[in-house]
């Protein structure tokens, strides 16, 4: 199944519902653009998408708003991880 087919299927399944799409640990894929992923939100105007990646290149390509490295995570939540 291609990405376009998967997105079309997801839109059919989730269309009209409010969803949070979590895309975890996205790695470089040739010719993948945020526009391809954002199509998941089509038909669900209140839905949102959160993307995580360990690749700065992917973050830059997708135009992600901000990045957080693991050292920063320790500063934000030290009691959670000790």
Q: Where do the structural domains in the chain lie, given as residue ranges?
A: 3-80
Calculate the average pLDDT of the chain. 76
Q: pLDDT at residue 34 above 80?
A: no
> In the 8-state DSSP scheme, what is residue 32?
-
Q: What is the mean pLDDT of residues 39-44?
A: 77
User: Residue 8: CA atoms inside 13 Å, Cβ hemisphere, count?
Assistant: 5
Residue 36: predicted pLDDT:
73
Alpha carbons 76 and 74: distance in angstroms, whole number: 5
Residue 62: predicted pLDDT:
77
N- to C-terminal Cα distance for the chain?
43
Return the bridge partners of 22, or none: 50
Percentage of the residues of the chain whose pLDDT score is greater than 70 = 72
Q: What is the mean pLDDT of residues 54-58?
A: 82
């Amino acid at each position: 199944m291609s990405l376009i087919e998967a997105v079309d299927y997801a839109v059919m399944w989730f269309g009209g519902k409010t969803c949070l799409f979590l895309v975890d640990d996205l790695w470089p894929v040739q010719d993948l653009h945020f526009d391809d992923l954002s199509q998941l939100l089509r038909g669900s105007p209140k839905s949102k998408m959160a993307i995580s990646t360990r690749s700065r290149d992917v973050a830059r390509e997708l135009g992600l708003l901000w990045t957080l490295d693991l050292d920063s995570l320790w500063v934000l939540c030290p009691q959670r991880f000790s």
